[in-house]
Amino acid sequence: MKNEKILLCLFSILALTVAILSTVPVKHANAINTTDSADIYVTIATRTMVDITPSNLTYLGMAPGSVGYNFTTDGNPSNLSSIQVENIGSTNITNIWFNTSFPDDSPYFAGNPAAYDAANFITISKENNDAYYFVNRLDFNESRSLVYISAPSTFTNPHYGRFKNASSEYFWVVDASTNCNESGQEILIGDNAHSDSSTGTIDFTGASGYTTVGLMNAVDSTSWGVGNVTGGALDGYCVAVYHACDRVMLYKWNMDAPGATNICTNVDFYTSYNITPRNSTVADVRIHVPYGIPKGTVSTGTLTVYAESVESA
């Protein structure tokens, strides 16, 4: 019994001690919040970069002699009619122009759609302007005579072909008795289109019904003779004729085409104003499929955009 009283007394003393200690303030170390900072320095390299979206244009089930107003693309089944050209670099883009691929050799009469290049059918207009031009369409001369074409009597070795624009075809005639890249040569282009319902200009012996374009040797591409088309249905184009007189190029938006820098004044940059980084422009696109294309899949062509910055580094 005595031991129990002693133990109870000890517990009472311990409880009293705890109670007293709990009322005594405890000093803690002061918590200190502090900050520091670092400056971030970044410089952006000079880069002129451009991006086309979408990156593929698909035209399905096109009939010969038709115009494709809309295309589809991977990841977007909706019909589109334009491409976005965006400045993804660090400099202002001042000038934009295009280039389209074309066949190396004449695809005519091969009976093979793969001999043709799809990009050779592409036309481009400035946004909402509805003025479509081929970028640089290449056409070849006829491989056999056409009995209904009458060339001038002064043309001792006439070569002729047609500019093919969907259902409209414009005959052209050159004299291959001398090289067609020589200054002083000329090309005659019919003013009236040949189609399935109209003969068009086929007589080049008179003084009217066609446009005469004088050619000059392209110093930047000496194998070509180049001139401005002023008048007729193809007014506003540049025309370039190969020295062998067997192929002719119509171009508008290609500043790298023969004679674009020093002869033809009809050529034009697609844009010639500052497009700041992250800004963009739009190009409206149509495809003009000529008559006489074999059924099947045409070889994939390439539309290339070139961007130039003229600001100082």
Identify whether 41 is part of a domain: no
Cβ count near 226 (within 10 Å) = 29
> Residue 1: what pLDDT?
47
**Model confidence, pTM:** 0.85
Q: Is pLDDT of 13 > 60?
A: no
Q: Give the pLDDT mean for 104-116.
A: 94
Identify whether 16 is part of a domain: no
Edge-to-edge strand list for the sheet holding 168-175:
158-165, 168-175, 186-190, 210-214
Identify whether 121 is part of a domain: yes
Give the residue carrying structure tokens 């965006």. Answer: 86
Q: Is pLDDT of 94 > 90?
A: yes
Identify whether 46 is part of a domain: no
Sign of CA dihedral 22, 23, 24, 28: positive
| Structure token digits, residue 208 | 């009217």
Confidence of residue 220 (pLDDT cuts 50, 70, 90): confident
Q: Is pLDDT of 25 > 90?
A: no
Q: Out of 6-10, 234-238, 281-285, which region has the weakest mean confidence (pLDDT)?
A: 6-10
| Structure token digits, residue 72 | 């589809």
Identify whether 185 is part of a domain: yes
Q: How far apart are CA 13 and CA 10, in angstroms?
A: 5
Q: Give the pLDDT mean for 279-287.
A: 96
Helices and strands of the chain, counted as H and E runs: 1, 20
Identify whether 30 is part of a domain: no
> Residue 104: what pLDDT?
95
> Residue 29: what pLDDT?
60
Which residue segment(s) compose the domain that 140 sits in?
Answer: 53-308
- C-alpha to C-alpha distances, 137 to 121, 141, 245, nearest whole angstrom: 7, 13, 16
> Residue 75: what pLDDT?
66
Decide the pairing of beta strands 168-175 and 186-190. antiparallel
Q: Give the pLDDT mean for 3-12.
A: 44
Q: Which residues of 269-287 are buried (b: 16+ CB within 10 A; e: fewer)?
A: ebbeeebebeeebebbbbb
Nearest to residue 170, comparing CAs of 216, 253, 229? 229
> Residue 20: what pLDDT?
42
User: Using an 8 Å Cβ cutoff, are 259 and 79 in contact?
Assistant: no
> Residue 28: what pLDDT?
56
> Residue 24: what pLDDT?
52
Identify whether 189 is part of a domain: yes
3-state helix, strand, coil in the chain (%, to 5): 10, 35, 55
Identify whether 89 is part of a domain: yes
> Residue 41: what pLDDT?
96
Q: Is pLDDT of 313 > 60?
A: no
- C-alpha to C-alpha distances, 216 to 61, 233, 260, nearest whole angstrom: 41, 22, 12
Kindly state the percentage of the chain with pLDDT values over 90.
81
CA 22 to chain centre: 83
Q: Is pLDDT of 246 > 70?
A: yes
Confidence of residue 21 (pLDDT cuts 50, 70, 90): very low
Q: Out of 13-27, 80-94, 132-146, 156-170, which region has the weakest mean confidence (pLDDT)?
A: 13-27
Return mean pLDDT, the chain: 89
Q: Is pLDDT of 5 > 60?
A: no
User: Using an 8 Å Cβ cutoff, are 183 and 225 in contact?
Assistant: yes
Position with higher pLDDT, 19 vs 276? 276
Q: Is pLDDT of 7 > 60?
A: no
Nearest to residue 286, comparing CAs of 54, 56, 50, 57? 57
Q: What is the pLDDT of residues 183-216, one digit of tens each?
A: 999 999 999 999 999 999 999 999 999 999 999 9
How many domains does the structure of the chain reveal?
A: 1
Confidence of residue 32 (pLDDT cuts 50, 70, 90): confident
